[in-house]
Structure 1
Amino acid sequence: MKTVKVSGKTIADAIDEALRLLGTDSKENVEYTVLEEPSKGFLGFIGAKQALIEASLKPDPTEEAFLFLRNVIEAMNVEAAVEVRENGKEVEFLLSGEDIGVLIGKRGKTLDSLQYLVNLAANRQSDRYTHIVLDAENYRARRQEALVQLAHRLAEKAKRIGGEVTLEPMNARERKIIHAALQNKEGVQTHSNGAEPRRHVVITPKR
């Protein structure tokens, strides 16, 4: 991490110079320590001392997460490229490669675990939260489409048999997709049941 020691007539002047040397225009991007307070000296100038600070750039959450993910991928001996894309309040890490299925895992469990760890790496030293979404070969969209189709199919089954239908355990994000898909579907209602990691959605016909 690049660190600079900078002096100035005032602490504010020293900070401005530190920002210039560190290549940023925002105080929010740096952390600094005041090593010496400025003093006017005798008669306002004899023996006057300038302010002295030590400043460095704060770790960038996205860069921290990117480096962590690259190291994990290399440790898994998987050839994969990572594209970083800003998407509103989220940052997307898009994975691509021949062996990408290894990083997705069964029903996306490996991808979800990697996403959890990447977010920990991004935010461990940051004072502002950054949310990172990990995706691989458009898996998230394909999985969402499959879940929506499953939800409607099982909703019809619940209406046909006149009883509840229990889905397999899912994470909170996938349960939310099921609930949203059936929110306005006539004749059925949904709720979640059980404790993590076995929490699941139950579809019941409306009486």
Structure 2
Amino acid sequence: MTATHRRTLVKEGASAERAVRELRNQILQGRLLPGEQIRQEEIAEQLRISRVPVREALSVLSSEGLLTHRPHQGYFVTKRSAEELAQIGLMLGLLENELARTVVWPSDEVIAELRSLNEAMERLVDQSEWVEMVDLNHEFHLRIFGLSPLRLVLDEVRRLWMLADAFIAIDYATREHRRRTVAQHERIVKALAARSRARFLKSVHDHRESTDVGARAGMGHRST
């Protein structure tokens, strides 16, 4: 492999990552709507990159469940039926309850990490560019659920969250929800620090009740 070829691969890899990030943000913010077709040439022109990294980005987002590929037609923003969302919500509720029930109490270092993640979310509450909160929310919850020994259950929760991402993000468009999420996270962390199983399970349950994707089955995107 020549040095020129290596530089081209590195450049295309960076461009693909940027395309993944930009398309994901557009989907989560509702600028690309469920069922909408993604046109490679338009994305390439918009980001001023070639179509090769765009195709790679589309493949990545398809594997995450945000896009659906239809043979001979192209890629479309995934559109889920009310029944599908209800099933995803049901499975997440059952599996997350088991993970919460079996967590091992965290160290002081982990508690500090969780507080740091929630503080990073708090800094975005009043910002117009809030999409990073979705990833921070994932990291916060998966850090907690990772305290459970149920590894296969955790893997399945990760997969289901990818399927529901665009719908979980709907509520983040409102500052009220962003503030409420940060406050509920703080209660969860305090319960963990106190090592109170009852308080912890109640705080997780209350948080889930206010963010249940299954309860919003059939809802579409709202713009910011």
- Identify whether the pair has TM-score above 0.5, normalized to the shorter chain: no
Which structure is higher in RCO with an 8 Å CA cutoff and minimum separation 6? 2
Normalised by the length of structure 1, the TM-score is 0.26
Structure 1 or 2: more helix by fraction: 2
Structure 1 or 2: more strand by fraction: 1
